[in-house]
Amino acid sequence: MINIKEMSREFNEVEQYLMTIAPSIVSMKDVEDGEHITVDGVLIFEDVKEDSGEVVEIMSIITPEKQVYSCQSATFKRSINDISNIMKGKPFTVIKTSGKTKANRDYINCVLDVDSLA
């Protein structure tokens, strides 16, 4: 079951489908580092697993071409929210990055593509 928590803008029914349950969603962990992603909207939802009742918070990003990327990464979600707040509703592009923590755990992140704004 899907519970939508936040939306950066109003999404129509097709966009909501694409951003929550469509099989075409690309997991951000499968995206190559250095990939540029134009953010046309962000949606945060809870995915409740029917068998266990486990709740997972997921962020989906939709591009102007209706490609959707999603992740559970707290680091990535924080970065998108921070950039989005600074950009105050203006369109922006991020560059996906990743690395390892001091504890040797993988993480994903993103940075603002400042070249796309020049």
Domain boundaries, the chain: 2-117
User: Strand, helix or coil at 84?
Assistant: helix
* pLDDT for residue 91 is more than 90: no
Closest Cα to residue 77, out of 101, 97, 59, 96? Answer: 59
- What lies within 8 Å, CB to CB, of 25 at 6+ separation is 18, 19, 60, 68, 69, 70
Per-residue confidence (pLDDT) for residue 3, from 0 to 100: 94
Closest CA to 111 of 83, 70, 75: 83
Q: Choose between 102 and 118: higher pLDDT.
A: 102
Name which residue leads in pLDDT, 49 or 44. 44
pLDDT classification of 118: cutoffs 50, 70, 90: low
- Taking residues 9-16, report their average pLDDT: 96
Residue with tokens 């951003």: 19
Is 0.75 surpassed by the pTM of this model? yes
Please check whether residue 97 is in contact with residue 108, taking contact to mean a CB–CB distance below 8 angstroms: yes
Q: Span 102-118, mean pLDDT?
A: 92
